[in-house]
A = this chain, B = another copy of it.
Amino acid sequence: MSEIKNHKKLFIPGPTEVRKEILEEMSHHMIGHRTEEFSSLFGQIKPKLQRLFYTQNDVLVSTSSGSGFMEAAIRNCVSKKVINCVCGAFSQKWYKIALSCGKQASKIEVEYGKAIKPQMVDEALKTGEYDAVCVTHCETSTGVFNPIEKISEIVKKYPDVLFLVDAVSSMGGTKIEVDKLGIDICLASVQKAMALPSGLSVASVSQKAYERAKTIDSRGYYFDLLELQKTYEKNQTPYTPSISHLYALRKQLDYIVDEEGLENRFKRHRQMADFVRNWAVENEMKMFSELGYESDTVSCISNTKGFDLKSIKQELLNKGYLADTGYRTLNEKLTQEGKPTTFRIAHMGDMQMTDIQDYLNEIETIFKRGK
C-alpha cells in the first residue's frame, strides 16, 4: 500500500479519518455468514448500536451507503404521501428519492443555509395529506442542524405520521435520543461521525414503521425492512453483508460507547464546533448556516472575503490535508470574482481538538500570506 505515504488527512465531511486499529479490523479473514460465529458478531453489535441511538428499537445494518436507507425509509413507510423538509442538497436528494420510488411527495423548502422551523412542519401536517415526514438532521451541504427535538413535538401530535430522520452526518457526533423523540426511522452512514470506512449504513426502525411496511406492497427486496427484521431477530442478514465492516463496527462501537463514552464524544464534537465557529468570526468571516442552527459536526463558512479557495485547497493538499471547497451545487453560483461562495470544515468522527487547531493554523497562515 504505497499510497499510505501520500495519505491526506481528511477534513471533508465524510469519509472521515479512521483510526489504525479500526482499519486493521477490515482485514479480518472471511467467515461464513450463516454460522454461529457470525451470529455472535452481529449479536454483540446490536445492543451497542441501541445505546448509540438511545433506543429499544431494532437497529438494522445495511451493506449500502446511507442513500440506501433513505430509499428504504421511503419504500417502507410512505403509503399516502410524504412531506420532505428541504434546506440543502441532501434533503433535496431525499425528496428526489421519494419521487424516484413512485411515491407522492411534496416539500417544505427554505433557502439553503436556513433551518426548517417546527411551525412549518405543523402547517404541512395540519392538512392531513401526509403519512410521513422526512427531516435531515444535519444538512451536510450547508452545515445546518435542523431542530429535530422541537420538530418531534409537532410530529407527536399526528399519530398517523411517521417521523423519518436522516442522521447520516450527525449520528455519533451529537446526542439523538431516538425513543424520546419518537423517531420511527433514524438512519446513519458509518463513514461520518462514526469514523468507520465507508460502505455500511445503520438505521433504527420502530414497531410503527414495521406495521406501516406491512400495509405496503412492492417494497422491493434489498431494502425491505420486513426481510431485514426477520433475519435481525436471528442475528443474521437476509443476504451476505460486508463482514469486514461488521468487525470494524464492533470494535468502533466499543470505543464510542464504552472507551470514549457517548457524553465525552458529544462534548468533544461541541468543543471542536465552537472552536471553528469562533475562528471564523475572529477571521472576519460569517457562518453560512443560520445563527442558532449550526451543526456540531460540520461548519459551512461563507467565503465573504473572496479567498481563492481552489488554490488554498491545493496548498493544503501539498501539506497533507484534504480540504473542502463547498458543496458542488452550492458553488454553481460563484462569487462575482468567480470563486466558490462557501467552504466547509468537518469536525467529526475521531478527530481531536488538536487536529482542528493544527488545520486551522495552516489555513490561517495561507490566508495571511494571501493578503
- Nearest to A224 among chain B residues (CB) is B100
Question: A213 CB to closest chain B CB, in angstroms?
Answer: 12
Whether A92 is near chain B, meaning CB under 8 Å from some CB there, is: no
Interface pair B15/A32, CB less than 8 Å apart: yes
* Residues of chain B lying within 8 A (CB to CB) of residue A244: 26, 197-199, 244
Interface pair A240/B14, CB less than 8 Å apart: yes
Q: How many copies does the complex hold?
A: 2
Question: A304 CB to closest chain B CB, in angstroms?
Answer: 24
9-residue interface stretch from A62-70, A111-119, A127-135, A276-284: A62-70
In the complex, A242 Cα to B4 Cα: how many Å? 18
In the complex, A72 Cα to B269 Cα: how many Å? 39
Interface pair B26/A27, CB less than 8 Å apart: yes
Whether A268 is near chain B, meaning CB under 8 Å from some CB there, is: no
In the complex, A37 Cα to B15 Cα: how many Å? 14
CB contact under 8 A between A239 and B27, given known A32-B10, A100-B221? no
Interface pair B27/A199, CB less than 8 Å apart: no
From B97, B198, B220, contact of A100 by CB (8 A)? B220
Whether A211 is near chain B, meaning CB under 8 Å from some CB there, is: no
- Nearest to A243 among chain B residues (CB) is B198
Interface pair B27/A15, CB less than 8 Å apart: no
9-residue interface stretch from A17-25, A45-53, A153-161, A288-296: A17-25
Interface pair A15/B67, CB less than 8 Å apart: no
Interface pair A15/B33, CB less than 8 Å apart: yes
From B16, B27, B37, B68, contact of A27 by CB (8 A)? B27
Question: A271 CB to closest chain B CB, in angstroms?
Answer: 23
From B30, B102, B198, B219, contact of A242 by CB (8 A)? B198
Interface pair A242/B197, CB less than 8 Å apart: yes
In the complex, A120 Cα to B33 Cα: how many Å? 35
Whether A91 is near chain B, meaning CB under 8 Å from some CB there, is: no
* Residues of chain B lying within 8 A (CB to CB) of residue A329: none
CB contact under 8 A between A245 and B199, given known A15-B30, A102-B218? yes
Q: Which A residues, 138 to 180, have Cβ-Cβ distances below 8 Å to chain B?
A: none
In the complex, A83 Cα to B259 Cα: how many Å? 54
From B10, B29, B219, contact of A18 by CB (8 A)? B29
Interface pair A221/B29, CB less than 8 Å apart: no
* Residues of chain B lying within 8 A (CB to CB) of residue A197: 30, 242-244
Interface pair B242/A242, CB less than 8 Å apart: yes
Interface pair B31/A71, CB less than 8 Å apart: no
Q: Which A residues, 1 to 16, have Cβ-Cβ distances below 8 Å to chain B?
A: 1, 3-4, 7-8, 10, 12, 14-16
Can you pick out 27 interface pairs between chain A and chain B where the beta carbons lie within 8 Å of each other?
A8-B32, A10-B30, A14-B240, A18-B29, A18-B30, A23-B27, A24-B27, A26-B26, A30-B191, A30-B198, A32-B322, A33-B198, A34-B328, A35-B322, A63-B65, A63-B199, A64-B64, A65-B222, A68-B222, A71-B222, A75-B220, A96-B221, A101-B220, A197-B242, A197-B243, A198-B243, A222-B223
List the 5 closest pairs (A to B, CB-CB), nearest first.
Answer: A199-B242, A102-B218, A15-B30, A26-B26, A65-B239
